[in-house]
Amino acid sequence: MEALMEPGRVSERFSKLKGLAIAVAPHKGCGSSGGSGKSSCGSSAGSGDLPPDVWEKVKNHPCYSEEAHHHYARMHVAVAPACNIQCNYCNRKYDCANESRPGVVSERLTPEQAARKVLAVASEIPQMTVLGIAGPGDPLANPDKTFGTFDRVFKAAPDIKLCLSTNGLALPDHVARIKDFKVDHVTITINMIDPEVGARIYPWVFFRHKRYTGKDAAKLLSERQLEGLEMLTQAGILCKVNSVMIPGINDDHLVEVNKAVKSRGAFLHNIMPLISAPEHGTVFGLSGQRGPTAQELKALQDKCEGEMNMMRHCRQCRADAVGLLGEDRGAEFTTERIESMEVQYDAGKRQAYRDSVEVERSARRAAREQELLTLAGENSNRKILLAVATKGGGKVNEHFGHAKEFQIYEMSTAGAKFVGHRRVDLYCQGGYGEEDALAGVIRAINDCVAVLVAKIGACPKEELRKAGIEPIDQYAYGYIETSAISYYRGYLERLKSGAVADVERGDAVIRQGAFVEVGAPAGQAA
């Protein structure tokens, strides 16, 4: 059995798998950038660009389809506490930072509690389509808890897609089980393929009762990750690769990682910023290792974007996150509440909800295509970034002061392309504006020409204008892409008439601390 193979023999097996990888590689090519007009993984173009079985897997998955993330939610259950490696960006007091911002910690659940929670959430949040297990340690370092949870959920609610995220060390030993349990989506965090680079990220890994350190540890981890990726793609399981961008350590190298995972059949690559601050107590936080700026991250994502598209809507969510990406309704589903709930799982009601979402998605696509026609005669090569306040549904429907994040769209004559999001602290704190928070918002969207909101007060409007960011509320409750294209068309006209100056914006800051929601229960956010 492969599971008993010595580490040195992994390379031998890996080279045998190479031929198979070439056979599966054409299945990649998804794009997660909705609205660009480019064929993509179920974002703008719909099912036409993907084999029907692949489309079926991605269309309602909020992480695998940028378009879906406006409509569908995921939930995580924190059933997997142990980990088999050490990352320098991780503090074991908190959740696995491969899928989760440092500084937050989840309540650990048993598989029984987790399955009950999934059914409770599914019965209250019909848009919840995916159950992910992403920590707080490594799901495959806790296989019985992970698969015990999947088994229970699959039997009780087969319409929920199962998803897991792993560091990959134990992955080759579990591929058969992953397939048996109908886990359709697996994320592997791959930060390097060069052990020299890896030794700066991973101090040790623990494999088959032995601890490996330095380059030996990194080499073993990399071989197991790539082997697991190939085995999964060969088994027809969709794979996403997450990579943490660590400036000065693996930023340039991630282009090589992108090529390596692309050639082995990965479906989507998600390059996430390192979030690092001394208060997280991590090796990188304490040594002052910085994360990338917004423009550094975007430049790397743009560089890697090619045949295999980049995920840009990841929210680095916590191991017990519940809700749309970017929102967290976990506090509504405490163990105490779930135990007292009368759970009524209604598959028919959930299907009816999904049907209504599909009608809305079609209307949104049609409106975007119609608006795009108005750019047909434009040949400007001027690109601009827009920030959008939204609480879901693909609409400009959030007040400026209530936004916990802004979605960022890059505008060109090809249309509106989602390129990221920026987390911020709430500007509106119980009825009044918080000046420090406003300064933070401006730093976070400083590279944007305008911010589209449902409503905004006079004071923040004035401050945004002073910072060169135009506050726009005329598109309140309109579709995002349609509104953004309309704004962009007007912007180009103003540019031509000289009403606005063609000024390059500066860089923007990616928020390093964990978000602290007003009124969050103690221990839920740090």
- The residues that touch ligand CLF, with contacts defined as CB under 6 A, are 63, 74, 76, 99, 130, 132, 134, 163, 165, 185, 187, 270, 314-317, 325
Which of ligand CLF, ligand SF4, none does 315 bind, CB closer than 5 to 8 A by kind? ligand CLF
115's enclosing H/E stretch is helix 111-124
Give the bridge partners for 420, in sequence order: 408
Strands 450-452 and 470-472: parallel
Asked if 268 contacts 309 with a C-beta cutoff of 8 angstroms, the reply is yes
Our CB check for ligand CLF shows the closer of 74 and 262 to be 74
- Residues lying near ligand SF4 in the complex (CB under 6 A) are found at 83, 85-87, 90, 96-98, 137-138, 167
**Which of ligand CLF, ligand SF4, none has residue 132 at its interface (CB below 5 to 8 Å by kind)?**
ligand CLF
Give the separation between CA 364 and CA 510, rounded to whole angstroms: 29
Q: How far is the CB of 135 from ligand SF4 (least distance, A)?
A: 6
Residue entry with tokens 């299945």 = 27
| Shortest reach from residue 442's CB to ligand SF4, in Å | 31
Q: Which is nearer to ligand SF4, 86 or 334 (CB)?
A: 86
* CB nearer to ligand CLF: pick between 308 and 372: 308
Min CB(134)–ligand CLF separation in Å: 4
Which of ligand CLF, ligand SF4, none binds 83 (CB below 5-8 Å, type-dependent)? ligand SF4
Nearer to ligand CLF, 322 or 448 (CB): 322
Is the CA virtual torsion 376, 382, 388, 392 positive or negative?
Answer: positive
With CB cut-offs between 5 and 8 Å by kind, which of ligand CLF, ligand SF4, none does residue 87 bind? ligand SF4
The helix/strand/coil state of 437 is helix
Q: What is the CA radius of gyration of the chain?
A: 22
Q: Give which of ligand SF4, ligand CLF, none residue 119 binds (C-beta under 5 to 8 Å, depending on kind).
A: none
DSSP string of 13-54, one letter each residue? HHHHHHHHHHHHGGG------TTSSS--SSSSSGGGGS-HHH
User: CA angle 523-525-526, nearest 5°?
Assistant: 90
- Report in angstroms how near the CB of residue 130 gets to ligand CLF at its nearest: 5
In the complex with ligand SF4, the residue whose CB is nearer, 83 or 386, is 83
Q: Please tell me the number of Cα atoms within 13 Å of 514 on its side-chain side.
A: 23
Nearest residue by C-beta to ligand CLF? 132
Nearer to ligand CLF, 241 or 485 (CB): 241
Separation of CA 469 from chain center: 26
- DSSP helix, strand, coil percent of the chain (3-state; round to 5): 40, 15, 45
Residue 310's binding partner out of ligand CLF, ligand SF4, none, with CB under 5 to 8 Å set by partner kind: none
CB of 48 to ligand CLF, least distance (A): 24
> With respect to ligand CLF, which residue has the nearer C-beta, 73 or 197?
73
Q: Tokens 């623990």 belong to which residue?
A: 206
The option from ligand SF4, ligand CLF, none interacting with 98 (CB < 5 to 8 A, set by class) reads ligand SF4
Which DSSP symbol is given to 55? H
Q: Which residue has the tokens 């809507």?
A: 313
- Nearer residue to ligand SF4 within complex by CB, 54 or 186: 186
| From ligand CLF, ligand SF4, none, interface partner of 316 (C-beta below 5 to 8 A by class) | ligand CLF
Q: What is the DSSP string of 500-523?
A: S------------SPP--TTPPTT
Nearest approach, Cβ of residue 193 and ligand SF4 (Å): 17
CB of 478 to ligand CLF, least distance (A): 25
Q: Which two tokens stand for residue 154?
A: 């699959």
Closest distance to ligand SF4 from the beta carbon of 134 (Å): 9
Residue 178 interacts with, from ligand SF4, ligand CLF, none (CB under 5-8 Å by kind): none
Identify the helix (H) or strand (E) that includes residue 386. Answer: strand 384-388
Distance in angstroms (rounded) separating the CA atoms of residues 62 and 85: 28
Question: Do residues 164 and 112 lie in contact, with contact meaning Cβ atoms separated by under 8 Å?
Answer: no
Nearer to ligand SF4, 98 or 407 (CB): 98
Choose the contact partner of 50 out of ligand CLF, ligand SF4, none; CB within 5 to 8 A by kind.
Answer: none
Neighbouring-strand partners of residue 86: 204
302-318 in b/e form (b: 16+ CB < 10 A) is eebbeebbbbbbbbbbb
CB of 56 to ligand CLF, least distance (A): 17
Closest distance to ligand SF4 from the beta carbon of 43 (Å) = 28
CB 318 to ligand CLF: min, Å: 8
DSSP 60: T
Pick the closer one to ligand CLF by CB: 117 or 219. Answer: 117
86: partner contacted, choices ligand SF4, ligand CLF, none (Cβ within 5-8 A by kind):
ligand SF4
